[in-house]
Amino acid sequence: MTITTQHAPGTFCWPELSTTDQNGAKKFYGALFGWTSEDGDIGGGETYTMLKLKGQSVGALFSMHKEQRAQGVPPHWASYVAVESADRAASRAKELGGKLLKEAFDVMDVGRMAVIEDPTGAVFCVWQAKKHAGAGVLDEPGAMCWTELMTNDPSKAEKFYTGLFPWKAESMKVPSMDYTVFKRGDTSAGGMMKITKEMGSVPAHWLVYFAVDDCDGSVAKAKASGAKITLPAKDIPDIGRFAILQDPQGAHFAIIQPV
């Protein structure tokens, strides 16, 4: 297992689940991905759960705040992108037409972050690492391996993200759709696709993918644990087999068994 100690700017570095049932989510994801959990006191009677794979942090989860529940915000996985300066990234995002849901702020002594909504409505976070770099493991079974933007306006989103991060956009032909890959140098940083009519009234969002050894087996295990299957397992030629799931609390995520 390759351990990551720092993330280059423009890298998706941390997935974080906001849920309505912290203990239930720990049980579900622990059984599905083999994660262990470590709770930390963050004050006010709340805890922040670090999710670990073979001792290395791969993400986190916490209980959704009452204010968010009252506003109708559903449980969700948040995606963090590594940046050199959260303040500069937040300022640049505003210049490019983004909206700051949370101005840059310190997270104790572990890092500095901001929460941003892009011009098409998708929300993400930027992370300036201090003591905490982000996920210690990526691209291995049980760890985050891909992050994908679903949006109603790919051209507007492309202009925003290539202006904000050190990304360039490349078109990729996928059966029945146009797909964009965001590249950081020669490294793929994330993907983007247009929300289709068949998807219904899906809002713009970033979707987190976790790698698995057996897609169909993982789908069956997730379903047996109370998950809903949003998109049944299907193959992407030369890429892998994937599925989109909704955990028992309602948060969507994807799994993929790479070729």
Q: In this structure, what token pair is assigned to residue 68?
A: 């968010």
Domain layout of the chain by residue ranges = 12-129, 144-258
pLDDT attached to residue 4? 86
pLDDT attached to residue 73? 84
Query: Which pLDDT tens digit goes with each residue over 42-101?
Result: 888 889 999 999 999 999 999 998 888 788 889 999 999 999 999 999 999 999 999 999
Instruction: Give the contacts of 254 (CB within 8 A, at least 6 positions apart).
Output: 146, 148, 207, 208, 209, 210, 242, 243, 244, 245
Domains 12-129 and 144-258 share a fold: yes
pLDDT attached to residue 144? 98
Which top CATH class is 144-258?
alpha beta
Task: Tell me the C-alpha distance between 135 and 154, whole Å.
Answer: 28
Residue ranges in the chain whose pLDDT is less than 70: 175
**Region 12-129: CATH code:** 3.10.180.10
What's phi and psi for 121, nearest 5 deg? 105, -5
pLDDT attached to residue 196? 83
Classify residue 248 by its DSSP letter: T
pLDDT attached to residue 67? 81
pTM, two decimals, is 0.95
